[in-house]
Structure 1
Amino acid sequence: MFLMIFPSKVSERKKGGKAFYIGTLIGGIILILVIMLDILVLGPDTTARNIAPSYTMAKKINVGNFLMRIEAIIATIWIITTYTRAVMYFYVSVVVFSNIFNIKDYRPFTTALGMIMVFYSSIVFPTVPSSGEFNKNIWLFYAATYGLVMPLLLFITAKLKNIIKKHHHSQQ
């Protein structure tokens, strides 16, 4: 969803694109390292079955009876990143919503969409097991909609607009 507004909100595209790719690379490297550590410490079976393997791994850390209870740090980091991700998704949703209806200021929609989001989240994920069911049965289609179909539609629409604009200018 972030990529839907990224090009329109960045003033210097080359610098923004470079920063985006560097951030993606750093994030990918950190993810690979954390997953490797989880698999090396817990084993592949426990890592695959666990909802939060990094938290479980942090529980096992004990360096000389001095460095322990690191899972509190992992939980804090998890809460902060989940909050940040939710805020980003919400911001992007509100901006895209205002862009769809061609409205300059997105702020009047924040309260209404916030209430809808809270209500909708309690319907979609009433319990942790329902979250697992959603991830198993629906997530692929949901992610494909926002990660594949919508970007393709935006790309095709942009190309068609350019073709129509060129055709219109060539006739004048």
Structure 2
Amino acid sequence: MSSLLVGAVMTTTTVQAKTYRTNPWTLRHHRYWYSYQQDVNGHWHYSRLHFTKKTVYFADKTKRTGKWHHSHISPQHYFVTKHNGWYNFGYKGTDIINTYVMRAEWKNLDGHRHWTLGSVDFSNNRGGLQVDPPFTTWIYTTYLNSEGWYYDLTHEPNFR
């Protein structure tokens, strides 16, 4: 019986998402990605992402004509992984809740086809976490607009 158990355990394998040293071309393809979305407390703001070869730069503002407030993750603390079409990036050593989970895809918005990044929001917009699906997925586009585009993701992103 014990040899059967050992054989069963040895044949089990796990799949890891590939960790990159540089951001994939899909994320770096456009200079900026823009979104109008709610934060974890339900307040609306503009968000901008800029992917360079080794890191990501963030910018936020509350009014369309306002000034961008910048931050970034230094390259030595940054990670990015990809698996099953999903990108996960953020600070090394943090759990998935404190990182960005995104998927690049074509979406029809206002009757036009756009290349977008969908960013999964695990918050409940009241300062807490949304444990079960559906998860709000905010859409980043290549231009700034005042519409908060999103869709509901009915399953957890698959990183296995």
- TM-score norm. by structure 1 comes to 0.23
Higher relative strand content:
2
TM-score by length of 2: 0.24
Structure holding more helix per residue: 1
